[in-house]
Amino acid sequence: MNDKGEPFIVEDVEELEKKNVTHLWTPRVVTGGKGPTGSNWLAQLREGTVFLVKPKQSGGFAEGQFHVIHNLDTDIHLMDNMGHQEVHMWVDSSAFSSQFDLRRILYEPEDGSSQH
């Protein structure tokens, strides 16, 4: 950005060179590491998948177990498998993915089949 808060254009680079600025930042791709922190991993799970999650903020030892009943990309129907009664909920897949880490997939149905 220039001093007016506008993005640099080619003319700005030429002006910097006139002012003897010798190092201009060059973007590059960095490989390796974990996936993007904003990834929506829940939307990628197929209907019938049973998985474990851990809240990112808890710091505790407890994990949750859920079952994907319906996957509508951004809206996911989950069943909480941990209680004595079935608890069903619709969740926003992006918000859920940002609040929970996927720990392990316990069951993933074969292609074309799902268990409810």
Q: Write out pLDDT tens, residues 11-50.
A: 566 776 777 666 555 555 555 444 445 589 999 999 999 9
Residue pLDDT, tens place only, 56-102: 987 788 899 999 999 998 999 999 977 778 899 999 999 999 999 99
**Distance between CA atoms of residues 22 and 63, nearest Å:** 52
Whose tokens are 């922190």? That residue is 37
Instruction: Sketch out the chain's domains with CATH numbers.
Output: 42-107 (2.30.30)
* Contact (CB, 8 A) for 56 and 103: no
